[in-house]
A and B are shown apart, each in its own frame.
Chain A
Amino acid sequence: MLSLIWCELYKLKRTPFVVLVALAACLFPIPATLVSMRGGTDGSFLSLSFLLLTILAGPLLLPVVGGCLAVLLFHRERDWETLKNLYTVPVRWSGLVAAKLFVVYLGCVLFSMVSLLAVAATSSLTGTPATPFFSCLAAAALVGFFYASATLPMILLVLWLDRGTLLSVLLCVLYGVAQSIQVFGGLYYIAGTASAEAAPLDSPLMWSFPILVFRWYTGFAASGQMVLGPDTAPFYLDTVPLLALSLLLMLVCGGLMVLLGRRQEV
């Protein structure tokens, strides 16, 4: 398994997309800081990271990053007919899927952590102390993990459709936009109520994946606690259910991807 993961990472050598993503991760604090300076947040590092990870980068960029990475990894095998060489090693399709998904997760987690580090750097430069640093960093890693999981159904769809790279990438971008729309829809809904905590939870919008992340973030990032105190419920979410949801997505989608590949012949 380790060799497989090493190989997947090695295959990314000389891939401009990776450089582009790394650059995007480092540049993203700029819009976040701008929005924040215009009075979008209370100016603290926590709010800034919240804005960045749950509203801007998370829903919009992470599905695109994860999705495109998966499209790249899977389509390259298909387009350059390398599968026959792998299968005769022999490498199993399930192992290949696992290694590729690992790289997708790694990409998403690194992307959100680097974004957070970049925000920490800029906010330190502008005189705002980057605290609480470590719980925010852990929260960033988890956001990457959650959104990577949320991207899996999309990757499954792309594999199932088995279309050209351009269309697949377009689908990933659309998926990211759809996630953003859910966040903004949720924000609009919350803004219509007296305070966020008091927003009624009976709207399905409050239970969409990006809003779940949104409702989880502050509680975890501020305290670093997996399970929150009873006074914050029910608006703020614990980490465990989100983790469970992500793992479920991982198992179901991963399993289906393995089944999908079994039927295909080289």
Chain B
Amino acid sequence: MTTYLIETKDLTKQYGDQTSVNRLNLHLRPGRIYGLLGRNGAGKTTTMKMLLGLTRPTAGEVLLFGMPLRGNERKILPRIGSLIESPGFYPNLTGTENLRIFARLRGIPSADAIREALALVGLPYRDKKVFSQYSLGMKQRLAIALAVMHDPELLILDEPINGLDPIGIAEIRSFLRKLCDEKGKTILLSSHILSEISLLADDVGILHQGVLLEEESLAELEARNGRSIHLSVSDSAQAARLLETELHTTAFRVEDDHSLRILDLGLPIPAIARTMLAGGLDLQDLHLCEDTLEDYFKRVTGGEGIA
């Protein structure tokens, strides 16, 4: 049996008569990045709050590092770095001073940890600017610095790239990847940005209206995604005839007057091209296309894409 770093058993949270998280069974393997994907209000933040003991589950259990969270908070929480929703810091203190408060509470003696954490997220050490004057992205960076300052084994990050610029996003992405690959850290992150998850995560959980619809490794999901060959020609009816007579396949769909989609992936693409040209058709485009995570997401949530 694998030991999971995070495991939840029928975790449920109800606010009044609304069920925000419904019988959730999460499994996080050590040394992996797990992306929790869900639309606004899917219950991502609520789940993470329960994982950290910030709100009490209505039912179910959280196991962290193989121990139940309830009753072991003092042992478990220092091993976790977290960022939940918006960054929360003292407005009248600078970034360094804010971190100094938490370093003191966590019992980190050296100032180096603070300097390194700030350097990692690209914030100046001992700047004069106080937190209330920070830009959104700077606040987010400070929150990430706080999460990694004490070198935790497990990171729980709720929408970590929220408010970051493209360069910042790429930096954080490679930074998280490095933490996972080189230092063997485990990371749980949530996002409603699909491309982020597909670029970063090893495992993906899809949360929809409080229910975990899928939990799979990214590779597995991609393998399962629908693939097809897209064909653009001068006359699609003629092309369809050629496919049936010359290539002996009926696994295709005519999409309009000029395009077709071949679902039979066994056909070699050069052979298709030759057949079309030999049949006197103009071939404008021929390529293999894959369902994106987005298409997949739409399918499993039955929704109109992500908000």
Task: Tell me if A42 is interfacial: C-beta within 8 Å of chain B.
Answer: no
Q: What chain A residues lie within 8 Å of B52 (beta carbons)?
A: 84, 87-88
Quick one: closest A residue to B150, CB to CB?
A: A89
B73 A90 Cβ-Cβ under 8 A: yes
Alpha-carbon separation in the docked complex, A91 to B104 (Å): 12
Task: Tell me if A203 is interfacial: C-beta within 8 Å of chain B.
Answer: no
A13-B97, A265-B56 known; A89 vs B77 contact (CB < 8 Å): yes
B104 A80 Cβ-Cβ under 8 A: no
Alpha-carbon separation in the docked complex, A266 to B56 (Å): 10
B54 A87 Cβ-Cβ under 8 A: yes
Stretch at the interface among A1-9, A124-132, A191-199, A253-261: A1-9
Q: Please pick, from B56, B84, B88, B102, the residue contacting A80 in the complex, using a CB distance under 8 A.
A: B88
A82 B88 Cβ-Cβ under 8 A: yes
Quick one: closest B residue to A16, CB to CB?
A: B92
A266 B55 Cβ-Cβ under 8 A: yes
Q: What chain A residues lie within 8 Å of B100 (beta carbons)?
A: 10
Alpha-carbon separation in the docked complex, A83 to B90 (Å): 11
Q: What chain A residues lie within 8 Å of B90 (beta carbons)?
A: 11, 76, 80, 82
Alpha-carbon separation in the docked complex, A13 to B91 (Å): 10
How many Å from the CB of B116 to the closest CB on chain A?
A: 19
Size bracket of the A interface: 20 to 34
Task: Tell me if A81 is interfacial: C-beta within 8 Å of chain B.
Answer: yes
Q: What 0/1 readout, one digit per residue, does chain A (10-49) give for beta carbons within 8 Å of chain B? A: 1101110000000000000000000000000000000000
Extra 9 A-B pairs, beta carbons < 8 Å, given A84-B54, A85-B146 = A3-B105, A4-B105, A13-B92, A80-B90, A82-B88, A89-B106, A90-B73, A90-B78, A91-B105
B105 A87 Cβ-Cβ under 8 A: no
A13-B97, A89-B77 known; A81 vs B88 contact (CB < 8 Å): yes
Q: Please pick, from A10, A14, A84, A88, the residue contacting B101 in the complex, using a CB distance under 8 A.
A: A10
Alpha-carbon separation in the docked complex, A3 to B109 (Å): 12
How many Å from the CB of A161 to the closest CB on chain B?
A: 22
A85-B146, A266-B55 known; A10 vs B91 contact (CB < 8 Å): no
B104 A14 Cβ-Cβ under 8 A: no
Q: What 0/1 readout, one digit per residue, does chain A (78-102) give for beta carbons within 8 Å of chain B? A: 0011111111111100000000000
B104 A7 Cβ-Cβ under 8 A: yes
B89 A80 Cβ-Cβ under 8 A: yes
How many Å from the CB of B71 to the closest CB on chain A?
A: 12
Alpha-carbon separation in the docked complex, A86 to B101 (Å): 10
Task: Tell me if B176 is interfacial: C-beta within 8 Å of chain A.
Answer: no
Task: Tell me if B49 is interfacial: C-beta within 8 Å of chain A.
Answer: yes
Q: What chain B residues lie within 8 Å of A14 (beta carbons)?
A: 92-93, 130
Alpha-carbon separation in the docked complex, A89 to B149 (Å): 12
